[in-house]
Chain A
């Protein structure tokens, strides 16, 4: 599949489109280990490197732990670095994942989200990335193929911004996004270069200007190091917005940290992340047509959490139906709902929040699930109760 610079949409599998976007971003090092459903991304990248279309070093490592180690090494040497993984691969890599942001290395990693075993399951939910939620990376969720393609370029721009210097995880739903054939507009190479110039940095290992990375941090430094990294992560938010805005100026597609869909006068708002938001929009259209005052808020940026933007998007809604795609055993709701509930608790006007677990381990999420959760959020919310949690579609 050849994806030339196109003014016309190309029908291409989203995984391959991401690889083509990484080529357009002129990544210099790709170190990766294949795992379903991410494999097509790095497989295509290895083709592009092998046939000379991408002038990069492709490092076929023997595990994900080594993949991230190699990525940190190449990024510390000043190279634009990309990797991709999923599920068990991300968990195996986790030890290294937490270190990259502390070393302020602007690596970009695509995660084709997949369930965590057991039982063994290769299908989509968000339990892989939620299990490393606190890794300290900037984390974005893509919703469709065009967005995943664009974000593959934008992520480098965010990560490498001198005011940011943080690694970025680009989440895309495994299979339900990664394996779809969709129409994709590919940005032109010269415009991508204008948007994303070559990565030049002083923050690298250089014998002429020695620097140490990854040192011991005893009790006298550890707290300060963690605070500094968190300050940097929180401070990255306006630069994420800036990277989105400048992308829009050149390529005409505007992205926001939080997106609202038909939320004007909405009494009930669904909150979701990732590709099921697209099906949710269709469900919202159908409910609106039937007179239901319902809208949708999608979180594109997950870390740093867009607190003010989310509060503004929720506005005066009475009921929230928050969708989670990750199971939190031993706690009565999922991570997205827990965070939103915490953020809304001290607000004077806060909605009644219900939490619904959808689409675990590849269970299909059809429109009627959204109709159901809106009904339930209203029903439970109108009784004044908080804290409702429900796994939708469980076969008893």
Chain B
């Protein structure tokens, strides 16, 4: 089982990311579970969402306290939330940032493996809105091997419809093909 925690701000799609990744995994024959850190929805406030993907049925319903992977949709959250809390040894952080990994590491004191993606630029270029969820899904899918562009196509279509799904598919694939992981 892989356990993933998403950090973003209300309106950026952290919850949607977790949900779509769960639907993608279930659609490709795996077991998955996604849920937000529940509360009144407020645009701009820090938001957490949780995702579990497994080859076996999933029973556990506690929050994800020791994730294998942390996905940060908005780098500004890193200044107000300890996003690497509980991250497993050998765990991975996937961060939306245009900055070099070394400077992120120094600024926040992260000790785990880091992969970065300039999701904001991709989102603005492809989607023309600063919503980074499908971009970060692409980065996560490539970095952890949890989904392919083909597997995500149907869930994206169900969620965004024929008008918006192709752009989101493109955003997903841009990230999937360009994520930079530390060597």
Which of A's residues lie within 8 Å of B, judged by CB? 1-2, 9-13, 37, 122-123, 144, 175-177, 179-183, 275-276, 278-279, 281-282, 362, 364-367
CA of A388 to CA of B53 in the docked complex: distance in angstroms? Answer: 39
Contact B59 A362 (CB under 8 A): no
Contact B35 A180 (CB under 8 A): yes
Residue A122 contacts which of B34, B35, B40, B63 (CB distance < 8 angstroms)?
A: B40
| With A11-B26, A122-B40, A123-B38: A365-B31 Cβ-Cβ less than 8 Å | no
Contact B63 A364 (CB under 8 A): yes
Instruction: Please classify the interface of chain B as helix (H, G, I), strand (E, B), loop, or mixed, using the class held by over half of its residues.
Output: mixed
Most buried by A among B34, B38, B65: B38
- What residue in chain A is nearest B35 (Cβ atoms)? A180
Which of B17-25, B74-82, B103-111, B132-140 is the contact stretch? B17-25
Residue A179 contacts which of B26, B35, B60, B65 (CB distance < 8 angstroms)?
A: B35
Most buried by B among A183, A279, A364: A183
Contact B62 A366 (CB under 8 A): yes
Contact A11 B27 (CB under 8 A): yes
Say whether B158 faces chain A, with CB atoms less than 8 Å apart: yes
Residue B59 contacts which of A177, A278, A364, A365 (CB distance < 8 angstroms)?
A: A278
Number of residue pairs A-B, CB distance < 8 angstroms: 68
Chain A neighbourhood of B39, CB < 8 A: 122
Chain A neighbourhood of B46, CB < 8 A: none
Contact A281 B33 (CB under 8 A): no
Contact B23 A181 (CB under 8 A): yes
| With A278-B61, A367-B62: A181-B158 Cβ-Cβ less than 8 Å | no
Question: For window 50-108 of chain B, which residues contact chain A by CB distance below 8 Å?
Answer: 59-63, 65
Chain B neighbourhood of A366, CB < 8 A: 62-63, 65
Residue B33 contacts which of A2, A181, A276, A282 (CB distance < 8 angstroms)?
A: A181
| Contact flags B26-50 to A (C-beta < 8 A → 1, else 0) | 1100011111101110000000000
CA of A175 to CA of B65 in the docked complex: distance in angstroms? Answer: 18
Contact B158 A279 (CB under 8 A): no
Chain B neighbourhood of A367, CB < 8 A: 60, 62
20 contacts between A and B (CB under 8 A): A2-B158, A9-B26, A11-B155, A12-B23, A122-B38, A180-B34, A180-B35, A181-B19, A181-B32, A181-B34, A181-B35, A183-B26, A183-B31, A183-B32, A275-B61, A278-B59, A279-B61, A279-B62, A365-B62, A367-B62
- What residue in chain B is nearest A146 (Cβ atoms)? B57
CA of A176 to CA of B32 in the docked complex: distance in angstroms? Answer: 15
CA of A175 to CA of B18 in the docked complex: distance in angstroms? Answer: 15
CA of A122 to CA of B40 in the docked complex: distance in angstroms? Answer: 8
Chain A neighbourhood of B22, CB < 8 A: 11, 181
CA of A126 to CA of B39 in the docked complex: distance in angstroms? Answer: 18
Chain A neighbourhood of B18, CB < 8 A: 181
Contact A11 B62 (CB under 8 A): no
CA of A175 to CA of B40 in the docked complex: distance in angstroms? Answer: 12
CA of A278 to CA of B35 in the docked complex: distance in angstroms? Answer: 15
Chain B neighbourhood of A123, CB < 8 A: 38
CA of A144 to CA of B19 in the docked complex: distance in angstroms? Answer: 17
Chain B neighbourhood of A122, CB < 8 A: 38-40
